Structure 1
């Protein structure tokens, strides 16, 4: 079952509007029961919000650059890069429905996104260190991007598998989040740069 969404402002970055599920809708142990992946894209997560806010406040990070938003979800970080004047923005996610949602959200904000950027200058990744299986894969991918010359920014609210030793903290935000998802009203979330 897919969630009903409505175009709403992002709490930490109200300049951006996304098609989002209701803040009271539960994702885990809630209304979604199917063989399809859970609709993570219907929610705006703390890591993506923090990246979006950081870019909107520091547009030079993205202006004129080829940007890749990894594990895009709703597309919020890539959309922020586009609003900052990125030369191009590509979004990727293991869930094709997330890529479709990111495209729809980008269009709602006047931003164009592509499916791939083989040579990114800026890589964005929000909330990607959420499991012991995914964290090493994501770490390898991001380190390869950094080795190839890209700047890598990660938004992480302390998900538990974040390899902090590889990063330097750029800034922190207190991010409003749905209590139905996070069991709290806000999360302190860092924006980190891969060394």
Structure 2
């Protein structure tokens, strides 16, 4: 990211603070439309073919997982929790509200700024890790790892699953929120809850997305 770019100012200028549909207890800096923000991001960084601005939308898997954590605080309370590929920080904020000590892992600079802003807006403290943990030789073991909407692309899904397996082998419980993305490892999962999640047609194929929360098994 160029030194002249101020990620916090960019997030503030291109979003507005609003409650999350399935999790109205939490407010996030969100965008109204994906294409204008995507174009603004490319212009700000003077780069083309960037990935979508994941931080600016409350994705179905994240909403479902945040709802589950708030409704089942015992799943994270008092534990060291990692929110992998945190995006807006929605799931991390829910875990912090439920009493966890939370690290949000997110390599995108704008997302990291959004997480900090969103955590402050919701009155919680969250550590933000901007290093890519998926291929890191050594990563601290967490007691719970939360993952929302990370299985939409083949290579990323494979790397994420390998990381999650390593965390599980170290004793972590892994919880996944997902609406059935292409590379979700269904055979490895036990479903814990189901939600009908309101989303925007700007980022999904329908306005209500059936979404589940799963525990990763062996």
Give the alignment partner of residue 26 of structure 1, picking from 34, 53, 60: 34
Name the SS of the counterpart of 1:115 in structure 2.
Answer: strand
- In the aligned structure 1, how far is the partner of 2:55 from the partner of 2:176? 18
Note if contact 1:37-1:95 (Cα within 8 Å) is conserved in structure 2: no
Structure 2, unaligned runs of 5 or more: 1-9, 130-138
- In the aligned structure 1, how far is the partner of 2:84 from the partner of 2:185? 17
Match for residue 143 of structure 2?
Answer: 121
Instruction: Report the aligned-residue RMSD.
Output: 1.6
Match for residue 110 of structure 1?
Answer: 123
Match for residue 93 of structure 2?
Answer: 79
Structure 1, unaligned runs of 5 or more: none
- After superposing on structure 2, the runs of 4+ consecutive aligned residues of structure 1 that deviate more than 6 Å are none
- In the aligned structure 2, how far is the partner of 1:103 from the partner of 1:119? 23
Give the alignment partner of residue 74 of structure 2, picking from 60, 78, 81: 60
Offset of residue 31 of structure 1: 5.2
Note if contact 1:82-1:89 (Cα within 8 Å) is conserved in structure 2: yes
- In the aligned structure 2, how far is the partner of 1:11 from the partner of 1:95? 24
> Which residues in structure 2 correspond to 1:1-195 (within 5 Å)?
4-22=14-32, 25-27=33-35, 32-33=38-39, 34=42, 35=47, 36-86=50-100, 88-116=101-129, 118-195=140-217
Offset of residue 94 of structure 1: 2.4
Name the SS of the counterpart of 1:179 in structure 2.
Answer: coil
- In the aligned structure 1, how far is the partner of 2:86 from the partner of 2:191? 21
Note if contact 2:31-2:56 (Cα within 8 Å) is conserved in structure 1: yes
TM-score (norm 2): 0.83
Note if contact 2:82-2:103 (Cα within 8 Å) is conserved in structure 1: yes
